[in-house]
Amino acid sequence: MILAGSCKFTLTKKDLLNMTYTQVLELGIVSHSIIIGLSLGVSQSPCTIRPLLGALSFHQFFEGFALGGCISQAKFGILRSILMAGFFAVTAPISVGIGIGVSSFYDHDSPRALIVEGILDSISAGILIYMALVDLIAAEFLSKKMKSNFGNQMVSFIALFLGAGLMASLAVWA
């Protein structure tokens, strides 16, 4: 039981799982935003900046929708929800600023920089893939509403594969 001011309410196991999923999702999204922001900030070539800016905008837009939906379902308090959304909103711009600041002495082709960037990319990608497959997509596909309607299943599978194909086609410009 949780006390909030003069109100008492209880959280179910599902509520606690939603809160945990949301926090892990935010961790993955924020780390991903930091890495993309740093990459954009240290970039010197317009040929590199344009695709990174497009990727950053695209990612932030859809990740914001996903995170906002999870935050709203997680039953956080208003202050916690605002803090989580605000933290998401400022991480990419701040990391772009940091990247611009370190670009004068940062050698993005050095072995150390490549190893660090690769490790950070793999951690954030792993978190995002796990969250997408296990927590978001599986939860939707295993719901009672989805299991009871074959038409919904087919439309959802087609939309899922179409979306995955469109995201994979973005690699042409990356």
pLDDT tens digits for range 52-108: 788 778 878 988 888 888 888 888 889 999 999 999 999 989 998 998 898 888 777
The token pair at 158 is 């087609």
Strand partners, 115: none
How, if at all, do strands 2-4 and 7-9 pair? Answer: antiparallel
What stretches of the chain show up as alpha helix (H) in DSSP? 13-42, 46-73, 78-102, 111-130, 138-141, 144-147, 150-169
Q: Is the dihedral of CA 101, 102, 103, 104 positive or negative?
A: positive
The band of 9, judged by pLDDT with boundaries at 50, 70 and 90, is low
Angstrom distance (rounded) from CA 27 to CA 137:
18
Dump pLDDT digits (tens) for 142-169. Answer: 888 888 888 988 998 899 899 888 888 8
Q: Which amino acid is at 79?
A: L
Higher-confidence residue: 88 or 27?
88
Kindly state the helix (H) or strand (E) to which residue 172 belongs, with its residue range: none
| Secondary structure (H, E, C), 3-15 | EECCEEECCCHHH
pTM of the model: 0.68
